[in-house]
Amino acid sequence: MRMTSANIRRMKQNGERFVALTAYDVVTARLVDAAGIPLILVGDSLGMVVLGHDSTIPVTLDAIIHHTQAVVRGAQKALIVADLPFMTYHKSAEQALDSAARCIQEGGAQAVKLEGGGSVASTIRRLTSAGIPVMAHLGLTPQSIHQLGGYKAQGKTSAQARRLVEDALAIEEAGAFSVVLECVPADLSRWLTQRLSIPTIGIGAGPDCDAEIQVVSDILGWFSDFVPKHARQYAKLSEVAATAIQAYADDVQSGRFPTEQQSIPLAADVIRDLDIAFPDRQ
C-alpha cells in the first residue's frame, strides 16, 4: 500500500524520524522505493541536476509532470510529491489549483509542494480544501533567489527568525501536512520542530528536524565539481561512470567489444542462400 500524507503526519506524532529523497526518473525511483524511503520529491531541482540550468526558475510545469510520471512508474510504495514550479501558483489560488490538479491527474503524484509562508497560506487552504495534500517550504526558497540575493541561509537574525516562525505557523494553520526547512540554523529548526504539529523536513537545517531530505544526485556523487555544505556523498558515481564509459570506448576502438557473446547467431545456410540470391555482391 502506498504511503499517504496522513501516514507522514502520524510519524511525527509517533516520534518516528523518517527519510525523504528527490528522484527524477524511473530507475532512481525504484532504488529509493526499494530502500523503504517513505517520501519521494520530484523537485524543481531537476532544472539544475538534470537539465543543466543554473537555478530552478526555468523549470516548467510540463517538465515536472513529465518527470513525475516516470517516478510514479518506478515507485510503488512511497508518497510522491511534485514540486510546483516558479510562477505556477503565484497569480491566484485558482491558478495553483489548476497546476496542482495537473500534477495529480496527469503526473500521478499524491501531493504537491510550494514555497512560501503567510503569502501562500490562502493558496494552501484552497488546495487542501480540494483534497490535495500540500507540503510547504520555508527558509532558503530557491525560486526566490533573486529576491534573497543568492543561496543564503535564512533565519539568522531575530527579525528573520520571527518572520520564519510566523510563516511556519501560518502554513500549519492553513493545512500543510509538512514543511521543508532549507538552510535554517539548527537551533531555530529545533525550536520549530518542538512547537509545530506537522513534520519538519530539514535540508541544511541541523539534526533535530523530524525528517531529512537531500537531492539524490548530491548523496550519490553524480557531480564532482560541487558538493553542497548540507550534503554528504555516500558514493562517487561520477567517477565510477567516467571509468566505465572510458573502458567501453577503449574496448570498442580496440575491437574487444562487442564479441560473439554479445552477438546474435545465424544459421550458415542463411548466408549461403544470400550468396546464391545476390551473386553480384560477393
| Residue-range domains of the chain with CATH | 5-235 (3.20.20.60), 240-281 (no CATH)
Q: 35 φ, ψ to 5°?
A: -75, -5
Residue 226 has pLDDT above 90, yes or no: no
Catalytic-role residue among 16, 166, 172, 182: 182
Cell numbers 492553513 label which residue?
A: 174
Q: Determine the length of the chain.
A: 282
Query: Please, which pLDDT band fits residue 203 given cuts at 50, 70 and 90?
Result: very high
pLDDT of residue 281: 85
Q: If phi over 0 gives left and psi between -120 and 50 gives alpha, with beta otherwise, what is residue 176?
A: beta
Beta bridge partners of 18: 211
Beta bridge partners of 20: 39, 213
Q: In whole numbers, what is the pLDDT of the chain averaged over residues?
A: 96
pLDDT of residue 145: 82
State the pTM of this model: 0.95
How far apart CA 181 and CA 168 sit, in angstroms, is 10
Q: Is 182 a catalytic residue?
A: yes
How far apart CA 134 and CA 150 sit, in angstroms, is 26
